Amino acid sequence: MLDALMVTPGTSADLRGRDPRDMLGVPGKDEGKARLAALTDELSSFQDRLYAEGKRSVLLVLQGLDASGKDGTIRHVFTGVNPQGCHVTSFKAPTPNELAHDFLWRVHAECPARGMIGIFNRSHYEDVVTVEVWLRRPGRIVEFERLLVEEGTTVLKCFLHVSAEEQRKRLEERISDPTKGWKYNPDDEETNRRYDEFTAAYDDAISATSTEHAPWYLIPADRNWLRNLAVAHVLVEALRRLDPRFPEIPARDSPQSADL
C-alpha cells in the first residue's frame, strides 16, 4: 500500500491522475474496518513504547482541502492512543505575533518532543498555497524537515485527496446537518469553486517537497473508512521501522549489611 500512496521524490504528485475513490486493493468497507481495528491496536502498543523510550518522536502532518476529513482521521486513527503521549495542533490564521516572525516560527514551536506523537491538523503547507510568496518557501521547508529528521523526528506527510464532487457534498452537509453546522464557513464554498486552482497549487508544493527524509503520501479521501485505513497504515509502518523499545529495568542495588 505504501508504494501506491507515496510520491516518489523527484517526481510529480499528479493529483489529477490520482483517483480519490481508489480502494487500494481493499475488498470492501467491512474488511477495511477490520484492518483498521488491528492497526489501531498496534499503534497503541507502539505509542506506549515510543513514550517510554523517550528518545525519538513522530510528526504526522495532515493536509488537505476543506472537508477532506482531517478531524475525522484524527478521531478514528488515534481512538486508542494514550493522550499523554500524543499532541494535536490545529493551525488557524496566524496571529499578529506569529506574523511578526518567520513563517516556520509557530510551526517549530509545536513540533513533538522526544517520546511523543505530534499531529498537525493543517500545517506549514497551508501558507505555501495561500500566499503569493510561496515560491521561495519549499526549499526552506525541505531544510526545516531535514533538521527535524536529523534530530530524531520521523516526519510523515499525508495529503487527504478529496474530489470536488465529494467536497461539495460534505460542505452542503454542514448546512443541512445540525451536528456539523458548527464547521460551516462561507469561505469554504470559495475553496470548492476554486478547486482546480488549489489542487494545482498543492500539486506543485507536494512535488517540490516530497523527499527521501520526509516523503508525501497521497491518501484517497472520498471514502472515509479507506482514508482512515491508509493513514493508519502509513503511521504504523513507520513505527514498525522505528521499532521503539521499553528501556531496560535498572539493576537493583545489592542490600548492604548493617554495620553492627
pLDDT tens digit string along 13-42? 999 999 999 999 999 999 999 999 999 999
The rounded mean pLDDT for the chain is 93
Q: Is residue 256 part of a domain?
A: no
If you average pLDDT over residues 113-136, what whole number do you get?
86
Look up residue 198 and give its three cell numbers: 488549489
Amino acid letter at 6? M
Q: Is residue 20 part of a domain?
A: yes
Contact 226/23 with Cβ under 8 angstroms?
yes
- Domain with 167 in it: 2-242
Phi and psi angles of residue 113, each rounded to the nearest 5 degrees, phi first: -75, 165
Query: What pLDDT is stored for residue 129 in this prediction?
Result: 73
Does residue 223 form part of some domain?
A: yes
Q: Other C-beta atoms within 10 Å of 221: how many?
A: 30
- State the pTM of this model: 0.93
Q: Which one is predicted more confidently, 130 or 213?
A: 213
Spatial CA neighbour of 237 closest among 113, 68, 111, 60: 60
Strand 117-121 relative to strand 86-90, pairing: parallel
Taking the alpha carbons at both ends of the chain, their separation in whole angstroms is 69
Positive or negative: CA dihedral 73, 77, 80, 84: negative
How many independent structural domains does the chain possess? 1
pLDDT at 170 over 60: yes
Residues, the chain? 260
From the number of C-beta atoms within 10 Å of its C-beta (0-12, 13-18, 19+), residue 214 rates as buried
Q: Which residue has the cell 517537497?
A: 209
Residues in CB range of 206: below 8 A, 6 or more apart: 7, 13, 15, 159, 216, 218
Question: 68, 221 in Cβ contact below 8 A?
Answer: yes
Angle at 123 between CA 121 and CA 16, to 5 degrees: 90
Q: Is residue 251 part of a domain?
A: no
Q: What is the DSSP letter of 259?
A: -
Q: Check whether 191 has a pLDDT greater than 90.
A: no
Q: Per the structure block, which three cell numbers stand in for 130?
A: 495561500
Round to whole Å and give the CA distance between 205 and 28: 32
The full 3-state SS of 1-51, as one line of letters, equals: CHHHHECCCCCCCCHHHCCCCCCCCCCCHHHHHHHHHHHHHHHHHHHHHHH
Residue 54 lies in a domain: yes
Percentage with pLDDT > 90 across the chain = 82
Q: What is the pLDDT of residue 253?
A: 75
253 found inside a domain: no
pLDDT of residue 256: 62
For residue 104, being part of any structural domain is answered with: yes
Q: What is the CATH number of the domain that holds 101?
A: 3.40.50.300
Per the domain annotation, does 255 fall within a domain? Answer: no
Supply 32's cell numbers: 477495511
For the segment 112-136, the average pLDDT, to the nearest whole number, is 86
pLDDT value for 134: 73
Q: Rounded CA gap, 169 and 173, in Å?
A: 6
